[in-house]
Amino acid sequence: MSGQGVDGSTRSTLVDARGLRCPAPVIALARAAREAAPGTVLIVWWTDPAARHDIPAWARMRGHEVLVTEPLAPEEGDGGDDDTRVYVTRVRTASGDAAG
Amino acid sequence: MHPVAQEAFLAALEQGWADPRRLHAEGRRARLLLDGAREALAEMLGARTEEIHLTAGHTASLHAAVTSVARARRRVGGRVVVSAVERAALLAAATLAGDEVVTVPVDRTGRLDLQAWQDVVGPDVALAALQHANGEVGTLQPVAAAFEATTRAGVPLLVDAGASVGHVDVGAHWDVLAADPSDWGGIAGVGVLAVRARVRTTPTGPEDEDPWAPGGVSLPAVAAAAASLRAVLADRARSEARRALVDRIRERVAQTVRDVEVVGDPVDRLPHVVTFSCLYVDGETLLGELDRKGFAVGSGSACTSSSLQPSHVLAAMGVLTHGNVRIALPSTVTPDDVEAFCAVLPQAVAEVRRMAGATDL
């Protein structure tokens, strides 16, 4: 699920962690980070409430950078309770070889 | 449970089985026991006897303290100021009692943002609450400075010392102090609340002879609370000996477990609590692995809670909430126990990571 950005300069990878419980979303993200080139933007979809805290903590421990976290398509009112709402977090992987 | 608690409990069953509110001889004997225990608790907590109230337990103490102080100060304002890492029971009471709950953040170690606290503690605040130490991660809070700010603003400060009393000195920087006998080796079923005479309170429940414990308290549990606290305080050296063992665990865990974050303040902390989080580890599975090896530990990870929500304390600190292990060393712990735990932990973590397919990450 890798693709070129519109301008061809930014590579991004989508990680679909919807429905996964901790620590599975972070494991899926870490796997994607390990396989991605340095500086790749990882886009992760998640529903697990722990991911809100654990994705930034993982990024900090591994030298990655969290760019933004927001509800996925809020205008469509995917709504419901916290367990079903889908969020998206964008993470830029570490530029050095410390990524993983 | 402290052996002294059991002795005192059984002795009180013999002597103080009657209702202390009755005027017959047995009732008076029970009354004497109850008064003696309150007097002892007061002395040990640095309060006057009439400032000591007994409740049905620590949760009941926090509920009653928050709601009755907030109600008494209704005309002043409806805001309740709390730290982000207060006990869930206190936060729930604040939500119920306050028009607005102002949550003051903590840093990565779990310590209160003092500047933010000073900024929000103003004259329109009904009540402010700050724990003496965080029982989940062990970090001591700057209660003296926080108390100075609330005192200047004329706001009563509730200090939840449930994780501290019996382990560290709690000092006199409080208007209301909550202490938890089951945390120092007492018997469950009683809580201790010290309310300075200057603090106004208005009970929120139906009228009762004792609004802090409607229907009365378990007298044997009160006697056990007082006796065990006395025993624990008299043996401070033993309590402090745990500090070096926690240092040892902190050091060994950081050295021998890959991708681990030992959390809480390394120095200004409770002597007996140590907490760490392991990346890519399912907390529930790790607890099971450690239990099979004979170690009973706790966790703040979401998978170990009935609500499936991670610990709000770890979340507020911005540390990893999964793969979390919390250890509270009992006063009977030995260096050999600690060595044995440190020896099995790396393998247990590796095993859980292997099961999750996360070994290579």
Three-state helix/strand/coil letters over chain B:
CCHHHHHHHHHHHHHCCCCCCCCCHHHHHHHHHHHHHHHHHHHHHCCCHHHEEEECCHHHHHHHHHHHHHHHCCCCCCEEEEECCCCHHHHHHHHHHCCEEEEECECCCCCECHHHHHHHCCCCEEEEEEECECCCCCEECCHHHHHHHHHHHCCCEEEECCCCCCCCCCCCCCCEEEECHHHCCCCCCCEEEEECCCCCCCCCCCCCCCCCCCCCCCHHHHHHHHHHHHHHHHCHHHHHHHHHHHHHHHHHHHHHCCCEEEECCCCCECCCEEEEEECCCCHHHHHHHHHHCCCCCECCCHHHCCCCCCCHHHHHHCCCCCCEEEEECCCCCCHHHHHHHHHHHHHHHHHHHHHCCCCCC
Residues B183 and B299 both lie in one domain: no
B324 contacts in A (CB within 8 Å)?
none
Of the candidate ranges B15-29, B119-133, B209-223, B313-327, the one whose mean pLDDT is the lowest: B15-29
- Asked if residue B101 is part of any domain, the answer here is yes
Domain end (from B209, B234, B259): B234
- Asked if residue B360 is part of any domain, the answer here is no
Residues B242 and B162 both lie in one domain: no
Domain range holding B344?
A: 236-355
On the question of pLDDT at A79 being above 70, the answer is: no
Q: What is the mean pLDDT of chain B?
A: 95
* Closest residue of chain A to B359, computed from CA coordinates: A27
**3-class DSSP assignment, residue A30:** helix
- Class for domain A7-92, per CATH? alpha beta
On the question of pLDDT at A99 being above 50, the answer is: no
Domain end (from B188, B216, B234): B234
Residues of B with CB under 8 A from a CB of A: 259, 261, 277, 279-282, 301-303, 308-310, 314-315, 318-323, 356-358, 360-361
- Asked if residue B361 is part of any domain, the answer here is no
Q: Which amino acid does the sequence have at B192? A: V
Tell me whether residues B279 and A58 touch, CB distance under 8 A.
yes
pLDDT tens figures, B105-128: 999 999 999 999 999 999 999 999
Residue among A11, A16, A22, A72 flagged as catalytic? A22
- Asked if residue B313 is part of any domain, the answer here is yes
Average pLDDT over residues B2-15: 92
Residues B83 and B224 both lie in one domain: yes
Residues B226 and B294 both lie in one domain: no
pLDDT at B185: 94
On the question of pLDDT at A4 being above 50, the answer is: no
On the question of pLDDT at A34 being above 60, the answer is: yes
A49 contacts in B (CB within 8 Å)?
302, 308-310
A58 contacts in B (CB within 8 Å)?
279, 320
Q: What is the mean pLDDT of chain A?
A: 83
Burial of A95 from C-beta contacts in 10 A (0-12 / 13-18 / 19+): middle
CA gap A53, A99 in Å, rounded: 20
pLDDT at B263: 97
- Asked if residue B121 is part of any domain, the answer here is yes
Residues B26 and B170 both lie in one domain: yes
**3-class DSSP assignment, residue A28:** helix
pLDDT at B236: 84
Tell me whether residues B318 and A56 touch, CB distance under 8 A.
yes
Residues B30 and B52 both lie in one domain: yes
Q: Which of the four pLDDT bands, split at 50, 70 and 90, describes residue A76?
A: low
Residues B197 and B276 both lie in one domain: no
Number of domains within chain B: 2
Residues B166 and B201 both lie in one domain: yes
Residues B101 and B18 both lie in one domain: yes
On the question of pLDDT at B331 being above 60, the answer is: yes
What is the phi/psi pair of residue A2, to 5°? Answer: -95, 155
Average pLDDT over residues B48-65: 98
ipTM associated with this complex = 0.88
Based on the residue annotation, tell me whether B303 is a catalytic residue of this protein: yes
Residues B131 and B99 both lie in one domain: yes
On the question of pLDDT at A35 being above 90, the answer is: yes
pLDDT at A74: 63
* H-helix or E-strand spanning residue A2: strand A2-4
pLDDT tens figures, B267-292: 999 999 999 999 999 999 999 999 99
CATH code at B264?
A: 3.90.1150.10
Residues B62 and B156 both lie in one domain: yes
pLDDT at A80: 53
Residues B223 and B276 both lie in one domain: no
pTM: 0.93
Domain end (from B234, B259, B291): B234
Residue among B120, B241, B303, B358 flagged as catalytic? B303
On the question of pLDDT at A6 being above 50, the answer is: no
The two tokens of residue B156 are 């009563």
The two tokens of residue B268 are 């200004």
Of the candidate ranges B185-199, B303-317, B325-339, the one whose mean pLDDT is the lowest: B303-317
Per-domain boundaries in chain A:
7-92
